[in-house]
Amino acid sequence: MLAGRDKGKRGKVTLRKDDSHIVVEGVNLVKKHAKPNPMKGVAGGIVEKTMPIHQSNVAIFNATSGKADRVGIKLQADGKRVRVFKSSGEEIKVA
């Protein structure tokens, strides 16, 4: 996270809600009051839920430098586009 109350936290992107909002695991947790629903087996009470955040508040983590980094595009000799870290120029491996 780059901004907000969870600034500096790291997590894995679990869901893309729409064009500009994503859900990051362990970030932007809120407490919601849930009604019990015996048909679905939901107990009810106060539950913690991860809410979406704007994608501009998220940066990709560079494991070699240990910090957040910006992303650039580099063209290879065969015409293929690859994503690279701006600081080091190394290719981003998709896990």
70, 84 in Cβ contact below 8 A?
A: no
pTM of the predicted protein model: 0.73
Report the alpha-carbon distance of residue 65 to residue 42 in Å, rounded: 44
Report the alpha-carbon distance of residue 69 to residue 86 in Å, rounded: 7
Spatial CA neighbour of 22 closest among 2, 40, 38: 2
pLDDT band for position 2 (cuts 50, 70, 90): confident
30, 13 in Cβ contact below 8 A?
A: no
Dump pLDDT digits (tens) for 49-86: 999 999 999 999 998 888 999 999 999 999 999 999 99
